[in-house]
Amino acid sequence: MQSRGIHHLDLVVSDLERSKAFYSALLRSLGWSGVLQLQGERGEEIWYLQAADTWLGLRAKQSNAHLVPYDRYAVGVHHVAFEASTRDAVDQCWELALAQGVEIESAPKEFPHYVDGYYAAFFYDPDGIKLEVVHEPRRAATTGT
């Protein structure tokens, strides 16, 4: 049996409305669409955006067990990378991140030590979760994105 990839990823955020606005602007600029709202196992709202066969969900925190901002070197998610179909799309996401006033790590540039032509920007969501927007030409050529 072979996996088709990640079906969905849910992130827990401190302010659901703020994160919905942030991720909606960011991911819609990459062609993500469709909002699906579901109820979680504890009765919480889960808010999803979709790209192809992958969903990103947001849930409001229900615990203060972990510090905010998020420590990516603690057990959990180090970062989430979103694929862009072009370098211009990476640049557009970068501009959106700047406009949102979130913490910035690295402006768009090539990272040839990863893969030839790897072009990415790194920044943090409102809770300090590290995000990457990346365009990889060879991957885009084979996937049609």
Rounded Cα gap, residues 108 and 10, in angstroms: 26
Q: pLDDT of 90-108, one tens digit each?
A: 999 999 999 999 999 999 9
Q: Is the pLDDT of residue 77 over 80?
A: yes
The model's pTM is 0.90
Q: Which residue has the higher pLDDT, 72 or 120?
A: 120
Q: What is the pLDDT of residue 72?
A: 85
Of 75, 78, 42, 74, the closest CA to residue 60 belongs to: 42
Determine contact, residues 58/46, Cβ cutoff 8 Å: yes
Q: Which CATH class is domain 8-143?
A: alpha beta
Domain ranges of the chain: 8-143
Q: Is the pLDDT of residue 66 over 90?
A: no
Q: Is the pLDDT of residue 144 over 70?
A: no
